[in-house]
Every structure is written in structure tokens, then in C-alpha cells.
């Protein structure tokens, strides 16, 4: 009499090979996600600075005012900083009174203002004309490095063209 074997399952060796392949692929996916997450968060924080500048410009163009406070200039300020930096968005009226509108933290981002320690972007109503002051000196353009040890972005602004942009890579 012949014995019949019922081959309905997997052998132990087949299961071990399948589990080891699955584990290896999972390790690569998790490692890739962790590195992409860091660069994604940096881009998000650098974009916050760009959005803050654009917000100040839009406020100047639209002539936004607050209660009885009528701004004559909208200001966006940054300073050199090594970690967990921030920007300040404020408005000044014709008498020189200042009102802070927003203070936004830029987590995990260092700020390097080329050839300066601080930068003040002033937007003048009604057309949102841009004035750039670096160390209290009027500049026609400025570059601000935003980043960490591995990745960086360059925030560029020009008072001549009024262009404000963010590009990937170090400022040159």
C-alpha cells in the first residue's frame, strides 16, 4: 500500500525565506521614509518663511488695517539663527507705533543671511513696494539660507523687480 502525502501547505523553509524577504523590504521602506520625512519637514518650514513674506506683501497691497490702527508699512524680519528660529511680521503706522501681527517659529531650521546678521523686509502700501534692509543698510537684493546640515533652501528677494522666491540648494 502506498502512502499518500497531502501537499497543501508550505514547508518551513519556504515560510522562512518569504518572511526574511518581507523583513528586508520593510527595512528599506522605513529607512527611506525616515530620510524623506526630514527633508519634507525642512521644505515645509522654509516655505513658511516665504509665505510670511508674501503675506506681508499682500497686506500692503490690499491696505489691510486693524481696528483703528492704520499701517504705513508692513515689516517682515529675520535674524541669523542656528536652530529653532522665527520670523516676525509687524506693522507700523505713520506715527511710528508698531504692532506685532505674527511670530512664526521655524522648527529645525537655521537661518544664514548672507553678508548680514539680520534682514528687514518693508512693504509699503498701496502697491506693496519692497525695501530690503540688511544691518540697517538699504539693499537692492538679499539671499537668506534656510536649512540644516544636509539640506538647504535659498530665499531670494529683490527690491528692484519685487521678486520673492524660494529655491532648493544653498545660496550662492
Q: Determine what percent of the chain is predicted with pLDDT higher than 70.
A: 96
pLDDT of residue 5: 66
Q: What phi and psi, each to the nearest 5 degrees, are found at residue 51?
A: -65, -40
> Is residue 101 within 8 Å of 89, Cβ to Cβ?
yes
Cβ–Cβ under 8 Å, residues 159 and 141: yes
What CATH number is associated with residue 46? 3.55.40.10
Domain that holds residue 112: 36-168
In a domain, 46, yes or no: yes
Looking at residue 126, what DSSP letter applies?
T
Domain annotation covers residue 11: no
Q: With 70 as the cut, is the pLDDT of residue 45 above it?
A: yes
| Residue 88 within any structural domain of the chain | yes
**4-8, 37-41, 49-53, 97-101, range with the lowest pLDDT:** 4-8
Whether 130 maps to a domain, the answer reads yes
Please state, rounded to an integer, the average pLDDT across all residues of the chain.
92
Q: Taking 70 as the threshold, does the pLDDT of residue 15 lie above it?
A: yes
Q: What is the pTM of this model?
A: 0.82
* Residue 17 domain flag: no
**Is there a domain that residue 24 lies in?**
no
In a domain, 6, yes or no: no
Nine-digit cell at 40? 519634507
The verdict on residue 136 lying in a domain is: yes
pLDDT tens-digit profile of 58-92?
999 999 988 889 999 999 999 999 988 999 999 99
Start-to-end CA distance of the chain, whole Å, equals: 85
In the chain, how many domains are there? 1
Amino acid at each position: 500500500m502506498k502512502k499518500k502525502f497531502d501537499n497543501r501547505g508550505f514547508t518551513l523553509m519556504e515560510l522562512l525565506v518569504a518572511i526574511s524577504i518581507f523583513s528586508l523590504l520593510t527595512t528599506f521602506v522605513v529607512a527611506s521614509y525616515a530620510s524623506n520625512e526630514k527633508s519634507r519637514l525642512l521644505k515645509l518650514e522654509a516655505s513658511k518663511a516665504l509665505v510670511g513674506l508674501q503675506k506681508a506683501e499682500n497686506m500692503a497691497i490690499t491696505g489691510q488695517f486693524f481696528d483703528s490702527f492704520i499701517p504705513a508699512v508692513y515689516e517682515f524680519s529675520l535674524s541669523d539663527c542656528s536652530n529653532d528660529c522665527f520670523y516676525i511680521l509687524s506693522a507700523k503706522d505713520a506715527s511710528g507705533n508698531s504692532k506685532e501681527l505674527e511670530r512664526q517659529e521655524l522648527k529645525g531650521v537655521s537661518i544664514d543671511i548672507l553678508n548680514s546678521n539680520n534682514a528687514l523686509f518693508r512693504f509699503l502700501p498701496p502697491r506693496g513696494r519692497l525695501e530690503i534692509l540688511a544691518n540697517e543698510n538699504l539693499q537692492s537684493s538679499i539671499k537668506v539660507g534656510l536649512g540644516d546640515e544636509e539640506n538647504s533652501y535659498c530665499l531670494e528677494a529683490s527690491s528692484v523687480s519685487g521678486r520673492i522666491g524660494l529655491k532648493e540648494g544653498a545660496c550662492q
